[in-house]
Structure 1
Amino acid sequence: MTQSDLPDRSAGTYEPAGTYDPAGAYEPSMPPAPVEGTEPQDPEAFRPARPAPGFNDKGHVKRTRISGVWIGLIGTALFLILLLIFIAQNSRSVPVHFLGWQGHFSLALAIIASAVIGILLVAIPGSIRIVQLRRALRKNVPDGRVSG
Protein backbone atom coordinates (compact mmCIF):
# COMPACT_ATOMS: atom_id res chain seq x y z
CA MET A 1 0.00 0.00 0.00
CA THR A 2 1.46 3.35 -0.99
CA GLN A 3 0.84 6.79 0.43
CA SER A 4 -1.42 7.62 -2.54
CA ASP A 5 -3.74 4.68 -1.72
CA LEU A 6 -4.67 6.15 1.72
CA PRO A 7 -7.60 8.56 1.97
CA ASP A 8 -6.76 12.25 2.14
CA ARG A 9 -7.84 13.29 5.65
CA SER A 10 -6.90 16.92 5.30
CA ALA A 11 -9.28 17.51 2.39
CA GLY A 12 -12.30 16.27 4.36
CA THR A 13 -12.84 13.25 2.12
CA TYR A 14 -12.02 10.68 4.80
CA GLU A 15 -14.90 8.31 5.53
CA PRO A 16 -14.80 6.15 8.68
CA ALA A 17 -15.37 2.39 8.47
CA GLY A 18 -18.98 1.68 7.68
CA THR A 19 -21.36 2.64 4.96
CA TYR A 20 -22.09 6.18 3.97
CA ASP A 21 -25.49 7.28 2.77
CA PRO A 22 -25.54 10.40 0.58
CA ALA A 23 -28.49 11.68 2.63
CA GLY A 24 -26.10 11.99 5.55
CA ALA A 25 -27.02 8.94 7.60
CA TYR A 26 -24.02 7.05 8.91
CA GLU A 27 -24.34 3.33 9.68
CA PRO A 28 -21.44 1.75 11.58
CA SER A 29 -20.06 -1.42 10.12
CA MET A 30 -21.38 -4.64 11.64
CA PRO A 31 -19.24 -7.72 12.27
CA PRO A 32 -19.97 -10.44 9.74
CA ALA A 33 -22.72 -12.85 10.71
CA PRO A 34 -21.53 -16.35 11.53
CA VAL A 35 -21.94 -18.84 8.69
CA GLU A 36 -24.67 -21.35 9.42
CA GLY A 37 -23.32 -24.73 10.49
CA THR A 38 -19.98 -23.44 11.76
CA GLU A 39 -18.94 -22.96 15.35
CA PRO A 40 -17.70 -19.52 16.39
CA GLN A 41 -14.03 -19.29 17.39
CA ASP A 42 -14.84 -17.49 20.65
CA PRO A 43 -18.13 -18.70 22.22
CA GLU A 44 -17.97 -15.87 24.78
CA ALA A 45 -18.18 -13.29 21.96
CA PHE A 46 -21.66 -14.48 20.97
CA ARG A 47 -23.02 -14.96 24.50
CA PRO A 48 -25.33 -12.13 25.67
CA ALA A 49 -23.66 -9.87 28.19
CA ARG A 50 -24.70 -10.26 31.81
CA PRO A 51 -26.25 -7.19 33.39
CA ALA A 52 -24.11 -5.15 35.73
CA PRO A 53 -24.45 -5.92 39.45
CA GLY A 54 -27.59 -4.35 40.86
CA PHE A 55 -29.49 -4.49 37.55
CA ASN A 56 -31.99 -7.07 36.26
CA ASP A 57 -32.06 -8.57 32.75
CA LYS A 58 -34.14 -5.66 31.43
CA GLY A 59 -31.62 -3.06 32.64
CA HIS A 60 -33.77 -1.83 35.54
CA VAL A 61 -32.39 -1.44 39.05
CA LYS A 62 -33.17 -4.54 41.14
CA ARG A 63 -35.71 -4.14 43.92
CA THR A 64 -34.54 -4.91 47.42
CA ARG A 65 -36.23 -5.53 50.75
CA ILE A 66 -35.14 -2.12 51.96
CA SER A 67 -36.73 -0.43 48.95
CA GLY A 68 -39.95 -2.33 49.70
CA VAL A 69 -39.84 -1.16 53.32
CA TRP A 70 -39.21 2.40 52.14
CA ILE A 71 -42.23 2.34 49.82
CA GLY A 72 -44.29 0.83 52.65
CA LEU A 73 -43.25 3.62 55.02
CA ILE A 74 -44.17 6.28 52.49
CA GLY A 75 -47.56 4.63 51.90
CA THR A 76 -48.17 4.38 55.65
CA ALA A 77 -47.27 8.04 56.16
CA LEU A 78 -49.70 9.10 53.42
CA PHE A 79 -52.42 6.90 54.93
CA LEU A 80 -51.87 8.42 58.39
CA ILE A 81 -52.10 11.94 56.95
CA LEU A 82 -55.43 11.05 55.33
CA LEU A 83 -56.58 9.48 58.60
CA LEU A 84 -55.75 12.65 60.52
CA ILE A 85 -57.68 14.74 58.00
CA PHE A 86 -60.64 12.35 58.35
CA ILE A 87 -60.56 12.59 62.16
CA ALA A 88 -60.29 16.41 62.06
CA GLN A 89 -63.26 16.72 59.70
CA ASN A 90 -65.47 14.24 61.62
CA SER A 91 -64.80 15.19 65.22
CA ARG A 92 -68.37 15.96 66.29
CA SER A 93 -69.93 13.70 68.88
CA VAL A 94 -72.68 11.26 67.85
CA PRO A 95 -74.79 8.83 69.88
CA VAL A 96 -73.86 5.18 69.43
CA HIS A 97 -76.21 2.29 70.33
CA PHE A 98 -75.02 -1.34 70.26
CA LEU A 99 -76.76 -4.35 71.86
CA GLY A 100 -78.33 -2.32 74.62
CA TRP A 101 -75.20 -0.32 75.22
CA GLN A 102 -75.20 3.38 74.37
CA GLY A 103 -72.84 6.28 74.54
CA HIS A 104 -71.55 9.37 72.79
CA PHE A 105 -68.37 9.13 70.72
CA SER A 106 -66.57 11.03 68.03
CA LEU A 107 -67.93 10.06 64.61
CA ALA A 108 -64.38 9.43 63.34
CA LEU A 109 -63.59 7.19 66.34
CA ALA A 110 -66.77 5.17 65.80
CA ILE A 111 -66.03 4.64 62.09
CA ILE A 112 -62.37 3.75 62.68
CA ALA A 113 -63.29 1.34 65.50
CA SER A 114 -65.81 -0.43 63.28
CA ALA A 115 -63.22 -0.69 60.47
CA VAL A 116 -60.62 -2.19 62.86
CA ILE A 117 -63.17 -4.70 64.18
CA GLY A 118 -64.03 -5.67 60.59
CA ILE A 119 -60.34 -6.19 59.76
CA LEU A 120 -59.91 -8.39 62.84
CA LEU A 121 -62.96 -10.47 61.87
CA VAL A 122 -61.19 -11.30 58.60
CA ALA A 123 -57.57 -11.47 59.81
CA ILE A 124 -58.00 -13.81 62.80
CA PRO A 125 -59.66 -16.74 60.95
CA GLY A 126 -57.29 -16.21 57.99
CA SER A 127 -54.23 -16.37 60.26
CA ILE A 128 -55.53 -19.52 61.94
CA ARG A 129 -55.99 -21.17 58.54
CA ILE A 130 -52.44 -20.21 57.47
CA VAL A 131 -51.05 -21.82 60.64
CA GLN A 132 -53.08 -24.99 59.94
CA LEU A 133 -51.75 -25.22 56.37
CA ARG A 134 -48.13 -24.72 57.49
CA ARG A 135 -48.45 -27.49 60.09
CA ALA A 136 -49.96 -29.84 57.52
CA LEU A 137 -47.15 -29.03 55.09
CA ARG A 138 -44.46 -29.74 57.71
CA LYS A 139 -46.05 -33.11 58.46
CA ASN A 140 -46.14 -34.12 54.78
CA VAL A 141 -42.68 -32.93 53.67
CA PRO A 142 -39.83 -35.38 54.40
CA ASP A 143 -36.56 -34.33 56.06
CA GLY A 144 -37.95 -31.04 57.40
CA ARG A 145 -37.03 -29.10 54.24
CA VAL A 146 -39.69 -26.46 54.93
CA SER A 147 -38.50 -23.39 56.82
CA GLY A 148 -40.48 -20.47 58.17
Structure 2
Amino acid sequence: MSDDLHHIGSTSTDPGTTAPARPPGAPPSPTTRLPHTRTGAAWVGICVAALICVVLIVFMLQNTQSVEVTFLWMHGTLPTALAMLIAGVGAAILTMVVGAARITQLRRLSRRQHH
Protein backbone atom coordinates (compact mmCIF):
# COMPACT_ATOMS: atom_id res chain seq x y z
CA MET A 1 0.00 0.00 0.00
CA SER A 2 1.48 3.36 -0.98
CA ASP A 3 1.78 6.30 1.42
CA ASP A 4 -0.76 8.31 -0.64
CA LEU A 5 -3.47 5.68 -0.16
CA HIS A 6 -2.58 5.16 3.47
CA HIS A 7 -3.35 8.83 4.35
CA ILE A 8 -6.77 9.05 2.65
CA GLY A 9 -9.33 10.23 5.21
CA SER A 10 -6.75 11.17 7.81
CA THR A 11 -6.57 14.67 9.21
CA SER A 12 -3.69 16.72 7.89
CA THR A 13 -1.56 18.61 10.38
CA ASP A 14 0.06 20.73 7.67
CA PRO A 15 -0.84 24.38 8.47
CA GLY A 16 -0.92 25.25 4.78
CA THR A 17 -3.85 22.93 4.03
CA THR A 18 -7.46 23.69 4.83
CA ALA A 19 -10.47 21.44 5.07
CA PRO A 20 -12.67 21.47 2.00
CA ALA A 21 -15.63 23.84 2.30
CA ARG A 22 -19.11 22.35 2.61
CA PRO A 23 -21.39 23.01 -0.31
CA PRO A 24 -24.18 25.52 0.45
CA GLY A 25 -27.19 23.85 2.05
CA ALA A 26 -25.25 20.75 3.05
CA PRO A 27 -26.01 19.50 6.56
CA PRO A 28 -23.31 20.02 9.17
CA SER A 29 -21.09 17.11 10.03
CA PRO A 30 -22.19 15.04 13.05
CA THR A 31 -19.30 16.44 15.11
CA THR A 32 -20.20 20.10 14.43
CA ARG A 33 -21.97 21.74 17.38
CA LEU A 34 -24.59 24.25 16.43
CA PRO A 35 -24.84 27.41 18.56
CA HIS A 36 -27.71 27.87 20.99
CA THR A 37 -30.07 30.59 19.79
CA ARG A 38 -32.93 32.54 21.31
CA THR A 39 -35.26 31.01 18.75
CA GLY A 40 -34.23 27.52 19.84
CA ALA A 41 -34.72 28.42 23.48
CA ALA A 42 -38.14 29.90 22.70
CA TRP A 43 -39.12 26.72 20.85
CA VAL A 44 -38.14 24.57 23.82
CA GLY A 45 -40.05 26.92 26.15
CA ILE A 46 -43.18 26.71 23.99
CA CYS A 47 -42.98 22.91 23.92
CA VAL A 48 -42.63 22.74 27.71
CA ALA A 49 -45.53 25.20 28.16
CA ALA A 50 -47.73 23.13 25.83
CA LEU A 51 -47.00 19.96 27.81
CA ILE A 52 -47.75 21.74 31.09
CA CYS A 53 -51.06 22.98 29.63
CA VAL A 54 -52.02 19.42 28.63
CA VAL A 55 -51.29 18.20 32.17
CA LEU A 56 -53.26 21.14 33.59
CA ILE A 57 -56.27 20.39 31.36
CA VAL A 58 -56.26 16.73 32.43
CA PHE A 59 -56.03 17.80 36.07
CA MET A 60 -58.94 20.23 35.69
CA LEU A 61 -61.11 17.65 33.92
CA GLN A 62 -60.51 15.14 36.72
CA ASN A 63 -61.26 17.61 39.55
CA THR A 64 -64.63 19.15 38.71
CA GLN A 65 -66.34 18.65 42.08
CA SER A 66 -67.17 21.93 43.83
CA VAL A 67 -65.56 23.14 47.01
CA GLU A 68 -66.55 26.02 49.28
CA VAL A 69 -63.98 28.81 49.27
CA THR A 70 -63.68 31.73 51.70
CA PHE A 71 -61.12 34.47 51.13
CA LEU A 72 -61.25 37.67 53.17
CA TRP A 73 -64.84 38.93 52.71
CA MET A 74 -65.64 36.71 49.71
CA HIS A 75 -67.49 33.39 49.99
CA GLY A 76 -68.50 31.01 47.24
CA THR A 77 -68.14 27.65 45.60
CA LEU A 78 -65.73 26.78 42.82
CA PRO A 79 -64.58 23.61 41.12
CA THR A 80 -61.59 22.24 43.03
CA ALA A 81 -59.25 22.54 40.05
CA LEU A 82 -60.19 26.18 39.45
CA ALA A 83 -59.63 27.06 43.11
CA MET A 84 -56.19 25.42 43.01
CA LEU A 85 -55.36 27.14 39.71
CA ILE A 86 -56.27 30.54 41.16
CA ALA A 87 -54.13 29.82 44.24
CA GLY A 88 -51.20 28.76 42.03
CA VAL A 89 -51.43 31.86 39.84
CA GLY A 90 -51.62 34.02 42.96
CA ALA A 91 -48.47 32.37 44.34
CA ALA A 92 -46.69 32.87 41.00
CA ILE A 93 -47.62 36.56 40.93
CA LEU A 94 -46.39 37.00 44.52
CA THR A 95 -43.10 35.29 43.58
CA MET A 96 -42.69 37.59 40.55
CA VAL A 97 -43.29 40.70 42.70
CA VAL A 98 -40.65 39.61 45.24
CA GLY A 99 -38.23 38.73 42.41
CA ALA A 100 -38.78 42.09 40.70
CA ALA A 101 -38.13 43.89 43.99
CA ARG A 102 -34.86 41.96 44.42
CA ILE A 103 -33.76 42.69 40.83
CA THR A 104 -34.49 46.40 41.36
CA GLN A 105 -32.50 46.33 44.60
CA LEU A 106 -29.50 44.69 42.88
CA ARG A 107 -29.61 47.15 39.95
CA ARG A 108 -29.55 50.13 42.34
CA LEU A 109 -26.64 48.60 44.22
CA SER A 110 -24.79 47.98 40.94
CA ARG A 111 -25.33 51.59 39.77
CA ARG A 112 -23.97 52.94 43.07
CA GLN A 113 -20.82 50.83 42.77
CA HIS A 114 -20.13 51.87 39.15
CA HIS A 115 -20.53 55.64 39.69
| More helix, by proportion | 2
CA-CA distance at 1:100 after TM superposition: 5.6
Q: Which has the higher contact order (CA 8 A, sep 6+)?
A: 2
Q: What's the TM-score once normalised by structure 2's chain length?
A: 0.70
Unaligned runs of 5+ in 1: 1-14, 19-26, 34-41, 143-148
CA-CA distance at 1:89 after TM superposition: 1.2
Q: What's the TM-score once normalised by structure 1's chain length?
A: 0.56
Out of 22, 38, 44, which is 1:71 matched to? 44
* Greater Cα radius of gyration, structure 1 or 2: 1
1:110 aligns with 2:83: yes
The size of the alignment, in residue pairs, is 103
Unaligned runs of 5+ in 2: 23-27
Q: RMSD between aligned alpha carbons?
A: 3.1
Out of 92, 96, 102, which is 1:119 matched to? 92
Q: What amino acid sits opposite 1:131 in the alignment?
A: T
Out of 21, 37, 61, which is 1:88 matched to? 61
Alpha-carbon distance in structure 2 between the residues aligned to 1:100 and 1:137:
43
Q: Look up the match of 1:4.
A: none
1:17 aligns with 2:19: no
1:128 aligns with 2:101: yes
Q: Look up the match of 2:34.
A: 61
